[in-house]
């Protein structure tokens, strides 16, 4: 059994969907689980619709839903020129429901969000399955909202592994005696009382990990528009290199520091069952991508660079000049938690405690208000954070260039630089 995951970019238009079919043909005869995301930028558009539904704004709902319906209908018209396929009706019914969506029973925003935003994956998987069938693949559509069981934490739902494993074993695996391919939705699940949940943005990779874990699959392949995992984001870095092979642990470290190729939760279930993860190009599927597996011997071969822009350094000093010790540290952390601060780097000295945050995720005036009486707080904006895994002097010099180093932290394997 192989698990394949195709993200939004790999099903963004008719030719992308045809390409999925061609890739699957390379694996004819094998049993395959296909996990698919919403097409292109559909999830972002659905987020807008969810807001409008929650605010009971039917005009906006209708307008934005029509836009999405047109986007998908264009893809359908191209993939099914004879228009004889029942898929048109299936998709139109979903859009009719979406247009009529309202929040009369006054559910929380997060619950409304999940019920609306999950439709992107439902739609894309119906379209891809229908297309695969017309292309002669032996494929069926499987409903992830009857297989992936979660708790009630809408928008960030956590997997109930036991129940999910049972459901997949009883209600999903047996179909492989009838078909070779089962297509299902990434990113979505359901609660014990049948409500739809989502696993957090970009969560489809994680769904692939869940299916692989629960079916003891031989491997997972994530098909992407890049040749594999690169050692830096090409947006910020010239001459990137592909990482041919890295360990599960290294992949977790890289995603922890902000490398965004794979959803961070994906690795753990695979590591637990020692299932290799391949990241490969859907443009050049015959080429080797990146292999993520247990063996760590290749981890140090290539240094990796992770950039975070638009950082803000907040330095906190007790007004009474007391030392930074455990008592005021715990007080500082309580206040930071109240401000919902997600800390990228921290450092303390005798009299001050400094943290680095994403500027766009923090409300600075709220933060200042929370500290104002007891602490003096200074804020330095427009910084960047560079993390280098497996650094040496040359790589550090390279990222520094002529920038000023505000702070530098090193462990054996990782260097972190705050630059201005």
Contact mark string toward ligand ASP, 43..82, x via CB under 6 A: x---------------------------------------
Question: Is residue 37 close enough to count as binding Mg ion by CB under 5 A?
Answer: yes
Looking at the Cβ atoms of 8 and 189, the one nearer to Mg ion is 8
Question: Is residue 203 close enough to count as binding ligand ASP by CB under 6 A?
Answer: yes
Give, in degrees to the nearest 5, the angle at Cα 52 between 146 and 106. 65
Looking at the Cβ atoms of 40 and 228, the one nearer to Mg ion is 40
For residues 330 and 370, give the distance between their C-alpha atoms in angstroms, rounded to a whole number.
Answer: 14
Which residue's CB comes closest to Mg ion?
8
Give, in degrees to the nearest 5, the angle at Cα 299 between 297 and 305. 170
Among 6, 7, 354, 415, binds ligand ASP (CB under 6 A): 7
Give, in degrees to the nearest 5, the angle at Cα 284 between 302 and 221. 70
Looking at the Cβ atoms of 220 and 345, the one nearer to ligand ASP is 220
Q: Residue 328: helix, strand or coil by DSSP?
A: helix
Which residue's CB comes closest to ligand ASP?
204
Among 51, 201, 335, 390, binds ligand ASP (CB under 6 A): 201
Q: Which entry of Mg ion, ligand ASP, none binds 197, CB below 5 to 8 A by partner kind? A: none
Give burial (CB, 10 Å; 0-12/13-18/19+) of 131: buried
Question: Is residue 37 close enough to count as binding ligand ASP by CB under 6 A?
Answer: yes
**Angle between helical axes of 42-54 and 58-79 (0-180°, round to 10):** 150
Question: Is residue 204 close enough to count as binding ligand ASP by CB under 6 A?
Answer: yes
Question: Is residue 186 close enough to count as binding ligand ASP by CB under 6 A?
Answer: yes
For residues 114 and 349, give the distance between their C-alpha atoms in angstroms, rounded to a whole number.
Answer: 44
Cβ 242 vs Cβ 261: under 8 Å: no
Q: Which entry of ligand ASP, Mg ion, none binds 289, CB below 5 to 8 A by partner kind? A: none
Looking at the Cβ atoms of 38 and 246, the one nearer to ligand ASP is 38
Cβ 210 vs Cβ 159: under 8 Å: yes
For residues 170 and 344, give the distance between their C-alpha atoms in angstroms, rounded to a whole number.
Answer: 43
Output the smallest distance, CB 25 to ligand ASP, in A. 24
Among 187, 213, 278, 375, binds ligand ASP (CB under 6 A): 187
Question: Is residue 189 close enough to count as binding ligand ASP by CB under 6 A?
Answer: no
Cβ 417 vs Cβ 347: under 8 Å: no
Among 40, 120, 289, 303, binds ligand ASP (CB under 6 A): 120
Give, in degrees to the nearest 5, the angle at Cα 29 between 136 and 276. 120
Q: Which entry of ligand ASP, Mg ion, none binds 203, CB below 5 to 8 A by partner kind? A: ligand ASP
Question: Is residue 38 close enough to count as binding ligand ASP by CB under 6 A?
Answer: yes
Binding footprint of ligand ASP, residue count (CB under 6 A): 12
Among 3, 4, 6, 8, binds Mg ion (CB under 5 A): 8
Q: Which entry of ligand ASP, Mg ion, none binds 318, CB below 5 to 8 A by partner kind? A: none
For residues 166 and 170, give the distance between their C-alpha atoms in angstroms, rounded to a whole number.
Answer: 6
Q: Give the residue among 64, 78, 62, 65 at the shortest CA–CA distance from 12.
A: 78
For residues 181 and 142, give the distance between their C-alpha atoms in angstroms, rounded to a whole number.
Answer: 10
Looking at the Cβ atoms of 69 and 389, the one nearer to ligand ASP is 69
Binding footprint of Mg ion, residue count (CB under 5 A): 2
Number of other residues whose CB lies within 10 A of the CB of residue 342: 10
Positions touching ligand ASP (CB under 6 A) are: 7-8, 37-38, 43, 120, 186-187, 201-204
Q: What does the binding site for Mg ion look like in residue numbers (CB under 5 A)?
A: 8, 37
């Amino acid at each position: 059994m192989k698990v394949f995951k195709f993200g939004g970019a790999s099903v963004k238009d008719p030719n992308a969907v045809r390409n999925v079919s061609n890739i699957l043909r390379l694996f004819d005869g094998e049993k395959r689980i296909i996990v698919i995301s919403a097409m292109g930028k559909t999830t972002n558009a659905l987020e807008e619709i969810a807001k409008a539904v929650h605010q009971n704004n039917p005009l906006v709902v209708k307008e934005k839903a029509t836009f999405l319906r047109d986007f998908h209908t264009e893809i359908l018209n191209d993939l099914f020129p004879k228009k004889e396929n029942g898929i048109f009706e299936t998709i139109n019914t979903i859009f009719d429901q979406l247009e009529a969506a309202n929040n009369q029973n006054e559910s929380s925003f997060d619950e409304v969000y999940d019920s609306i935003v999950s439709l992107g994956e439902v739609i894309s998987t119906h379209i891809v399955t229908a297309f695969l069938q017309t292309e002669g693949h032996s494929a069926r559509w499987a409903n992830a909202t009857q297989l992936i069981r979660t708790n009630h934490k809408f928008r960030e739902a956590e997997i109930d592994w036991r129940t999910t494993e049972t459901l997949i074993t009883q209600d999903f695996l047996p179909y492989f005696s009838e078909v070779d391919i089962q297509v299902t939705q990434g990113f979505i699940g359901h609660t014990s009382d049948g409500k739809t949940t989502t696993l957090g943005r970009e969560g489809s990779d994680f769904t692939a990990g869940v299916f692989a874990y629960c079916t003891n699959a031989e491997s997972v392949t994530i098909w992407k528009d890049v040749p594999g995992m690169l050692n830096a984001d090409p947006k910020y870095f010239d001459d990137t290199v592909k990482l041919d092979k890295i360990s599960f642990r290294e992949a977790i470290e890289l995603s922890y520091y902000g490398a965004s190729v794979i959803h961070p939760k994906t690795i753990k279930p695979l590591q637990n069952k020692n299932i290799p993860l391949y990241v490969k190009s859907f443009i050049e599927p015959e080429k080797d991508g990146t292999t993520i597996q247990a063996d760590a011997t290749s981890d140090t071969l290539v240094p990796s660079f992770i950039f975070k822009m638009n950082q803000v350094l907040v330095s906190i000093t007790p007004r009474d000049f007391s030392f930074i010790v455990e008592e005021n540290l715990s007080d500082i952390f309580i206040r930071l938690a109240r401000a919902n601060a997600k800390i990228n780097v921290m450092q303390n000295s005798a009299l001050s405690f400094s943290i680095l945050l994403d500027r766009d995720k923090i409300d600075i005036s709220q933060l200042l208000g929370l500290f104002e009486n007891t602490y003096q707080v200074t804020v330095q904006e427009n910084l960047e954070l560079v993390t280098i895994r497996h650094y040496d002097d040359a790589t550090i010099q390279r990222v520094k260039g002529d920038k000023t180093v505000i702070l530098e932290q090193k462990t054996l394997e990782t260097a972190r630089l705050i630059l201005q």
